[in-house]
A and B are shown apart, each in its own frame.
Chain A
Amino acid sequence: DAGVTQSPTHLIKTRGQQVTLRCSPISGHKSVSWYQQVLGQGPQFIFQYYEKEERGRGNFPDRFSARQFPNYSSELNVNALLLGDSALYLCASRPRRLAGGPYNEQFFGPGTRLTVL
């Protein structure tokens, strides 16, 4: 089975530009989360989507937005890029947890390395 896939692998942008990152979850997974991992730090939660609805947002400015499509794939958009947006952007998916069912872990993709010059 294919794991979580992300595109592109690497991306170079200049300050002020806009970027769109894409994520395809594992088949059957309806929840997608986005994390930002700055070099030398742990991932920071940006967004979570479930069934096309936003279920959580981390402490990030409004320049960051996301959406989830009917096929459960997701896009992360970042406007007006800043140098500090340079990071590895990770996408993770998890299956729906049934009431009273076992805990479901999240599965990470390989990430998109964004460099802002």
Chain B
Amino acid sequence: AQTVTQSQPEMSVQEAETVTLSCTYDTSENNYYLFWYKQPPSRQMILVIRQEAYKQQNATENRFSVNFQKAAKSFSLKISDSQLGDTAMYFCAFSNTNAGKSTFGDGTTLTVKP
């Protein structure tokens, strides 16, 4: 069974600064996907960024980038130029080729301060 661990229950960052959220996972599979989801106070979960395990290049989506260390089973999210709208709960998640059966961490509450 896969497990996902987010060791930072809460974090805060000043607007326009950079913050990094940590995630570690455990799996015996070789082909899998890792995700960061954002869940704002309105509750709708949305995908922020995705990383395929077979790709060595770290994924980037605008201000969001990841540091994927496969051997260490680490998958951190870096948010650059933080904005007030980034305030949300962030979940790290793992899935094999079937995204419909994902395993989530317990989340990190990020607060962006003006």
Binding site for B on A (CB under 8 A): 31-33, 35, 40-45, 48, 50, 55-56, 58, 88, 90, 92, 94, 97, 103-106, 108-111
Contacts and interface: CB of A to CB of B under 8 A. Distances in A.
Contacts of A103: 33, 50, 52, 97, 99
Given A41-B107, A109-B44, 6 more contacts: A31-B100, A32-B100, A41-B106, A106-B100, A108-B44, A108-B45
A98 B104 CA distance: 25
B91 A42 contact: yes
Interface in B1-25: 4, 6
13 contacts: A41-B107, A42-B104, A43-B102, A56-B100, A92-B100, A94-B99, A103-B33, A103-B97, A108-B44, A108-B45, A109-B44, A110-B42, A110-B43
Contacts of A110: 42-44
Contact of B102 (A32, A45, A55, A88): A45
A41 B43 CA distance: 13
Nearest to A33: B100
Contacts of A41: 106-107
Given A40-B106, A41-B106, A88-B43, A56 B101 contact: yes
Interface string B33-47: 101010000111111
B98 interface: yes
A109 B43 CA distance: 9
A72 to B, nearest CB: 13
A29 B98 CA distance: 14
B103 A90 contact: no
Given A42-B91, A90-B45, A106 B106 contact: no
B100 to A, nearest CB: 4
